[in-house]
Amino acid sequence: MITPIKVPNLSGVDSLTPDPKFITEVDFGESVPTGNHADVIITGGGFSGICLGSLLRRRGHHDFLIIDRNEDWGGCWLDNKYPGVACDVPSHLYSLSFELNPDWSHAYGSGAEICEYLKAAAHNEGLDEHYRPSTAMEEATWDPKNDLWHIETPRGEYTCHFLITGSGHLVDPKIPDIPGIDGFPGTILHSARWDTSADLTGKRVAVVGTGASSIQVTPAVAPMADQLVVFQRTPAYVMPRIDPPYTDIEKKTYRRHPDEMQRERDDHFWQAETLYGAMRLIPAMQDHVKKLTLSHLESLVEDPKIRQLLTPTYTPGCKRILVSNEYFKAFNRANVTLEPSALASVEGSTLISANGERYEADAIILCTGFTVSQPIYAAHVRNEKNETLADVWGKGGAPTHTLAQRGFPNLFTVNARNTGLGHNSSVHIIESQAAAVVQALDYCHDTGQTTLEPTAEADKAWNDWLRKWSRNTVWTSDGGCSAWYVDDRTGQLTAIWPDYAYDFRVQNGHFDPVWFDME
């Protein structure tokens, strides 16, 4: 059973600088909403929603609701139930700095553990009374006459003064357009929408993709399948997964001395920061990543021909650098085949690769990721001009300091554009943004300001900085691969933060009134 420890203050940089704003609650005289109107509405019940709600309550804001399309807390960790699902960031770092968990079973938490942790953290922080499950945001429209957002949901209309989108990147599965796949007579599964009743025992299974979910699904399914073929367009750089179990003594020590967990968290944070050097194309770090990952590959794959097919030739970091000890081992099994090309078409139960190879299959597992550059919710958030977030983002726009989009008053976008990390924990990003949002709401309470919208100057300055700083990174240079980090409509880096995680908090972890138009 997971029982997090509620820490009384929020860390400024993962326990290094305590922030006094979240130590003492201010009495704003607010009560928890009982109807369909709130001062603040947050979308999503994962890390972002729980973090935002926790910080709001800790600061003294109680007039908020968290609406969620899911039936329970957990976000993407409630959605992702595929065999082998786990995190590729160490557990003590991939967790809220103010809800430390001494009960992790291993250095890397399983998906089920993370989901249980998030539910426990939400309960610990008193968020259940603010939570509205099975209440998806279907449409949100800004009403300038009343300074309100009108939100359509399956449970009726909600209204709020401030809307915070916290659904994240890993929400809507990306379904590839493969000719003939609709006529496939067998089972089709997507890693992000796994049917837990599906039985793959003794089946001929095809895995499409070689990204973060594929390297977990493949070794988990291989032992139960009769035959398994992996369709690989691009091989992955894979690092060793140092994943020892935590002993009972270690867990007791963490519970009695939470500062030990904070110390381990800090160690993981700064160690991960060093990897950013590879993203900046620093030769020594590029060489380090290549040496580490390729020696890992060589030590695990027995057949030199298969090993060669699994060897990447593009620049490390162009695609996500993965973590696994089991993925490569799967290709030593007699029942596992590597197809070094994409799945091009389907004819009945026959799968045809881009190389022209044909495979019979009873089940297809799509490990094809998410619609990150074009999130579905963005097409349903409208301003007074009837423009959607998707319209603005499709033209290359980005939220000022990752937080607020010009043209959309009183809208905060958490864990959205340019907030992903290719080297560290996204929870650090979420906490930074959540702190800035709470400071913005404090400002409105203190000054009587009713609307916040970035100035044209702040919007331009931010977008200019993003484009400039994204240059000379592995994602925008000719790294020899294409990745979902870049929006193919504009050629701009939109998914990833192009700097150190530490610098994200320096730049974006606070609210500055100078960024906003004031009436």
Distance separating alpha carbons of residues 151 and 139, to the nearest angstrom: 6
Among candidates 295, 326, 328, 322, which has minimal Cα distance to 309? 328
Instruction: For residue 95, give its domain range.
Output: 31-171+371-510
Number of domains the chain is built from = 2
427 falls within a domain: yes
Q: Are 429 and 415 in contact (CB under 8 A)?
A: yes
Classify residue 124 as exposed, middle or buried by CB count within 10 Å of its CB (0-12, 13-18, 19+): middle
**pLDDT value at residue 9:** 55
Domain match, 313 and 378 both: no
**In the listed set 316, 345, 366, which residue is the last one of a domain according to the structure?**
366
Distance separating alpha carbons of residues 58 and 21, to the nearest angstrom: 9
* Close Cβ partners of 436 (under 8 Å, ≥ 6 residues apart): 401, 403, 508, 509, 510, 511
**In the listed set 336, 366, 396, which residue is the last one of a domain according to the structure?**
366
The pair of structure tokens assigned to 281 is 């194309």
Domain match, 457 and 401 both: yes
Distance separating alpha carbons of residues 452 and 404, to the nearest angstrom: 9
Domain match, 37 and 63 both: yes
In the chain, % helix, strand, coil (3-state, to 5) comes to 30, 20, 50
Place of tokens 């009743």: 197
Full strand arrangement of the beta sheet holding 358-360: 343-347, 350-353, 358-360
2 falls within a domain: no
Domain match, 212 and 315 both: yes
Q: Are 314 and 480 in contact (CB under 8 A)?
A: yes
**pLDDT value at residue 490:** 86
Domain match, 316 and 436 both: no
Three-class secondary structure of residue 318 per DSSP: coil
Domain match, 383 and 467 both: yes
Domain match, 359 and 378 both: no
Phi and psi for 300 in degrees, rounded to 5? -110, -25
430: amino acid identity, one letter: I
Ranges of the chain with pLDDT below 50: 10-13, 15-18, 20, 23
Q: Which long-range contacts (CB under 8 A, 24 or more apart) does 383-392 make?
A: 383/142, 383/407, 383/408, 383/409, 384/142, 384/143, 384/144, 389/413
20 falls within a domain: no
Distance separating alpha carbons of residues 57 and 374, to the nearest angstrom: 32
Domain match, 207 and 355 both: yes
The H-assigned helical ranges of 257-336 are 258-273, 276-279, 283-300, 304-309
**pLDDT value at residue 372:** 78
Distance separating alpha carbons of residues 195 and 81, to the nearest angstrom: 8
pTM for the predicted model, two decimal places: 0.95
